[in-house]
Amino acid sequence: MPNPKRRHSQQRSAKRRTHYKAVADTLSTDSATGEVHLRHRAHWVENKLYYKGKVVLEKQSAAK
């Protein structure tokens, strides 16, 4: 397996790492419920799973 003959400089490593950065999550407001949620993610509101403003799934209550 090949190994580097010389050490890479700190500047070379720093140039490569300049593109690695944390990005804040994008939030949206649901048109149906008014809840704030992460974009392109389903979210629970009052035992209902919403995605793109529509109910996708309803959680059944545990009472018998």
Residue-wise DSSP of 22-52: --PPPEEE-TTT--EEETT--EEETTEEEET
Given this model, what pLDDT does residue 40 score?
Answer: 93
The pLDDT tens digits for 7-43 are 888 898 888 888 888 889 999 998 888 999 999 999 9
- The count of other CB atoms within 10 Å of the CB of residue 43 is 15
- The whole-angstrom separation of Cα 53 and Cα 28 is 11
Q: Is the pTM of this model over 0.75?
A: no
pLDDT at 62 over 70: no
The pLDDT tens digits for 37-60 are 999 999 999 999 999 889 999 988
Query: What radius of gyration, in Å, describes the C-alpha atoms of the chain?
Result: 23
Domain ranges in the chain? Answer: 25-59
